[in-house]
Structure 1
Amino acid sequence: MGRRVGPKEVHVRVTEVREMDVPLQGGLSNAVVSFVGHKVSLVAVVSDHVRHGVPVIGVAFNSIGRHAQGGILRERMVPRLLASAPEALLDPRDGLLDPARVLACVLRDEKPGGHGDRAAAASAVELACWDLLAKAHDEPAFATIARRHGRAPTTAGVPVYAAGGYYDASDDVAALAAEVRGYIAAGYPAVKIKIGGVSLAQDLRRIEAAVDAAGGGRQVAVDANGRFGRERALAYAAALEPLGLRWLEEAVDPLDFALNAELTARYAGPIATGENLFSRQDVANLLRFGGLRPDRDVLQMDAGLAYGLTEYAAMVTLMEGAGFDRSAAIPHGGHLVNLHIVAGLGLGGCEAYPGVFQPFGGYSDDCLLSDGLIRPADHPGFGLEAKSGLDDVIARLVA
């Protein structure tokens, strides 16, 4: 009996890795960070596999809202990858490029712990390998991801919400309400806005305006980006609980598990956290010590910040072992890469950046939003080349 392989058996080897720093557009701020001057690392992994007369190239980036990682990529990770024996990067079961082996290669001689920027740099390379694999199979990335993880892909679409409500100099509550109404009118069933950048009284005016514009507290999540200490976190929790919000996100430092546990004990509504955890060990500690409740709380780890899909899938396994359904996983980062990951792994949903963080935020025009669900288009790979504004940037990188 012959070997069982994917729909089209291919043998992919890396021949070149390119990277470039791409500035984010706009002057957004949350309660902690101004994104003016922020850049994202866009990576292209070039292979020797030829389709339609040209080499197959995998493209990805290190998510949104963190700085570019060009130095780490150029000085450490890319040289290790290109110096590796090609066979060492292949899955021996089928001869295909193995993103997990690529990840192990780029992390060679790196000490445990101290994840941070290194995790985001490795993510860009590892995720580009998933894009490359899917293109080699001539299929969308969610199909490749699902098959590699022994799952059937989600084809009907995944739940989505719109992330916005950032601070600007005007502090215009009417403009915030209009923004929220625009997202609801566009078909997004819920929205998320930022809090913590002004006083509690000012934030309450903003939140109440958003709740009114969205049609109820269940349609509005709020995100403090880890801004609060104990007293302010508990004060906000007491003020917000009567509103019945969708969730309260990262009220405290993401690594202060004891304070997060105190908050969950005092706040009956859902808590969301995890986007700033970059390894499976950090997630294990959150699940062990953070007081999270499997019946309501949300985990937001982001493969683009946490060594890629290989590490992220291990995080989902840890969640399930702690009693969480994988529907509790709603990754940070409203972009095409995470949309495919959510559809491929059967997760609870994803956010969208329909109006911010361009050219990376949001989806391509042919990702259709209907009844609160969004479905990836059928472009091979993540479909980043079909994203308006990002297509020109990728064309410059791969030319």
Structure 2
Amino acid sequence: MTNWNERPLPRAAGGKPNPNRKNKKKTKSNVSSSSLTPMPSLGTEENTGGIIALESTPEELRQREQRLMRFGTAATTWGQPATNTEDNRGGWTADGKIIGTSRDLEKPYFRLTSAPDPATVRPLEMLKIAYTHVKRKWKTENNYKHACEQLKSIRQDLTVQGIRGRFATTIYEYHARIALEVADLSEYNQCQSQLRELYTEGSESNTNNEFIAYEILYLLFSGNRSEMNSLLERRALAKVQGKAGGKTKSKALRHALAVRAALAVGNYHQFFKLYQDAPNRNALLMDQFIPRERVKALIMLCKSYPMGLPLDFISRELAFYSVDDATQFLEKHGIKVDDVNGRLETKPALPLLHAAIANKYQKADIKGQV
């Protein structure tokens, strides 16, 4: 066995021995057992996996308390903010939810990159005042950029505080409506996604079917058949369970379902009649895919009438405002019309219409950000 007391101490790499230092070898006789001072016991390694646990002596407890005071924190549950204390001013609830204390009427919207500060979050009663303020400014100034930012800021304050229910539903419904008015489909889609969850959670709303109608039309625009089937399945299940009740007779919802049925069988005559008689904001969503469906309808007409078609007939059937409007639409797609006779030569127009479907209307542009 190696006697480490007789071996010289190792030196750093590249180091040189100190010539002034004399090696003094200690033997067993030099060190007596009585001269060794025992180390103070810090604890035990038994049942601790090899980790020494400090004894909870009065001195150790006092030092722990001093450390807590030095860092200014209270002993709290891991992962949860401190409960209401005199310093915290009620910014958090006992279960770790934030309670806003801000009294700002307007607040710019920023994406959160860290935990929210209660001093910058508005409580529910303040959010209701801010919502009334936004509605008044939208009506008088019609500034969508400002209204959108303020509504997103309200939505963020609702989210970080975990506020759901009727008021949250009202905010998302209002934001979705004005987003449709300016064709901001990106913002509308975000609101619609949240509304779907709020309705599923049981948030009561008299406008539930209005937004289900918008969702049907949006899915027709985006061409999302799987989601459409899922939506219709949920509606059928709700009807069987008696949850839909008399609300299924909503005019907006009946209209959206009729539009879906007309497109499913290619009944464009009925489809464009429904477009001209759209309730609420259904027409605003239909505006997004009307050009695509006009091209598809023209393909059917060109195949059915190879000898040509009068422009006034096309204008009436495809719900154009006028013959000039129909002519501009055709010319925009590279199709020349006979202005003298007021007719469309269908044979040369057919390949151009097919090219428009393949190149321009194959995918829906759902960004629509303003």
- Give the TM bin, normalised by the shorter chain: under 0.3
Q: Which has the higher contact order (CA 8 A, sep 6+)?
A: 1
- Which structure shows the higher helix fraction? 2
Structure ID, larger Rg = 2
Q: Taking structure 1 as the reference length, what is the TM-score of the superposition?
A: 0.18
